[in-house]
Amino acid sequence: MCLKGHRRPKKNKLLRHFHSRSTIYIICAAAIIILAGFLTAVSPAYRVSSNTITNWTSDLNSSTFLYLMAMENRAFREAYPDDRELPDISNLLFEMTTSVRPSDTRSLLGQELPGFLTFQNEIIIAGEGTDYTNLPVESAPPLEDILEDREAVIDEPEQQEDGKNEQGNEVQPSTGERDVVFIYNTHSRESFLPHLPNTDNPDEAQHGEVNIGKVSERFAKALETNGIGSKVDHTDIMNILNEKNWEYHQSYQASRNVVQDAFADNDDLQYAFDLHRDGSPKNETTTEINGKDYARVMFVVGAKYDGYDKNLEIANNLHNLIEKKYPGLSRGVITKKGAGSNGIYNQDLSPNAMLIEFGGVGNNLDELFRTADAVADVFSEYYWDAEKVNASQ
């Protein structure tokens, strides 16, 4: 009797423990079902998008996720780096919910001081005059302002210069019928104030026809002159945003499908160029070469994805080649990954994907076309040198 009297409480304790855990599991399952139902039923405008979740977790070290998996499966604990301290869960939750990192005061000041978030970007190579006070400015006007009809004036552009005359009778290499370069514009309506007579507001430098797409066409034409088959995509990404009721920051999500389809439809494609124009003033985006004004360029590389170092290497190489042949034309190379930036820019789709800022709101098409010809000239030399190396290997 004495033994039974001692066992019964233990059994009851086990039953109570079992029931309490079962209750917790049921509550958690119910919460998940309710949350899933809410997320699927709520209006798309108020849903938590994958982009939002990406922003919450983008600055977390990969070892943090390894630690979280190790909490459920001890096998992952063996792979945790010996030289890295275990993360503090309270700090982890604080960073995810506030986007403020206690170890980096810039994350706090960037939320309060206009323009301070640009200091989260990193200058990899600084071109002439480039510092953290004049990095590219990406304005995000309301979509209705972007789609507004505006008057535009465009003069007959300068004729394209032949950059290959110096080669004399040397046979021009060619990709033949193959298009190996894909050119598109995520911010498809970015335009230029000199061609918009009724506004001097940089946020209103948007147009459905006279825009960065003209530069893409000139760039492709210059590449073709150098024997490199190129395809320009004319998709109006801003119209896609309007049709899907998406916001401006989802532009790269919309253009991502365009790039994926292009590579899926053409196995010959090797490079992808996303051309933009900067929101910075003309004095920062213009240089003079041989007595003529050129729109300056800047290479932007996202740093929120694995393998971005390959894209960065090409950007660095092109900057250095441009500086040798057209000194002062390139403003440099930067990486972007902090809050307020996309940080990927579809460059994870190919190690040869580039984002280039061509000029700014104050440049005119003559200046931009000269730059398009110059960049095409430099890239062509880079491309054919790489082809020679590949052939020898």
Residue-level pLDDT at 45: 44
Residue-level pLDDT at 153: 93
Residue-level pLDDT at 12: 62
pLDDT tens column, 315-374: 999 999 999 999 999 999 999 987 667 889 999 999 999 999 999 999 999 999 999 999
Residue-level pLDDT at 132: 84
pLDDT tens column, 174-198: 999 999 999 999 999 999 999 999 9
Q: Which of 24-33, 82-91, 258-267 has the lowest mean pLDDT?
A: 82-91
Is 242 in a helix, a strand, or coil?
helix
- Residue 245 CB burial class (10 angstroms; 0-12, 13-18, ≥19): exposed
pLDDT tens column, 38-52: 656 655 444 444 444
CA separation, residue 377 to residues 180, 197, 289 (Å): 16, 32, 15
pLDDT tens column, 324-339: 999 999 999 999 987 6
Residue-level pLDDT at 267: 96
Residue-level pLDDT at 98: 58
Q: Is the pLDDT of residue 82 over 90?
A: no
pLDDT tens column, 195-218: 999 999 999 999 999 999 999 999
**54 vs 265, higher pLDDT:** 265
DSSP code per residue over 243-283: HHT--GGGHHHHHHHHHHHHHHH-TT--EEEEEEEE-S-HH
Residue-level pLDDT at 55: 45
- Residue 48 CB burial class (10 angstroms; 0-12, 13-18, ≥19): exposed
Residue-level pLDDT at 30: 78
pLDDT tens column, 84-101: 565 665 665 666 555 555
Residue-level pLDDT at 390: 79
DSSP code per residue over 349-361: G-TTEEEEEEEET
Residues 6+ apart with CB under 8 A from 332: 123, 124, 125, 126, 127, 130, 298, 299, 319
Residue-level pLDDT at 34: 78
Longest CA–CA span in the chain (Å) reads: 111
Task: Give all strands (DSSP E) within 146-189, no chain letters.
Answer: 181-184
Q: What is the mean pLDDT of residues 74-83?
A: 64
Residue-level pLDDT at 298: 98
Q: Is the pLDDT of residue 7 over 90?
A: no
Q: Is the pLDDT of residue 144 over 50?
A: yes
- From 143, 149, 111, 138, select the one nearest 45 (Cα to Cα): 143
Q: Is the pLDDT of residue 167 over 50?
A: no
Residue-level pLDDT at 23: 72
**103 vs 69, higher pLDDT:** 69
Residue-level pLDDT at 263: 97
Q: pLDDT class for 162, splitting at 50, 70, 90? A: low
Residues 6+ apart with CB under 8 A from 66: 76, 79, 80
Over the chain, what is the mean pLDDT? 82
Residues 6+ apart with CB under 8 A from 217: 232
Q: Is the pLDDT of residue 72 over 80?
A: no
Q: What is the mean pLDDT of residues 275-280?
A: 95
Q: What is the mean pLDDT of residues 94-119?
A: 53
**230 vs 108, higher pLDDT:** 230
Residue-level pLDDT at 92: 59
Radius of gyration of the chain (CA): 27
Residue-level pLDDT at 110: 52
Percent of the chain having pLDDT more than 70?
A: 67
Q: Is the pLDDT of residue 53 over 60?
A: no
**346-367: burial string, b at 16+ Cβ within 10 Å, e else:** bbbbbebbbbbbbbbbbbbbbb
Residue-level pLDDT at 392: 75
Q: Is the pLDDT of residue 6 over 60?
A: no
**Predicted structure pTM score:** 0.72
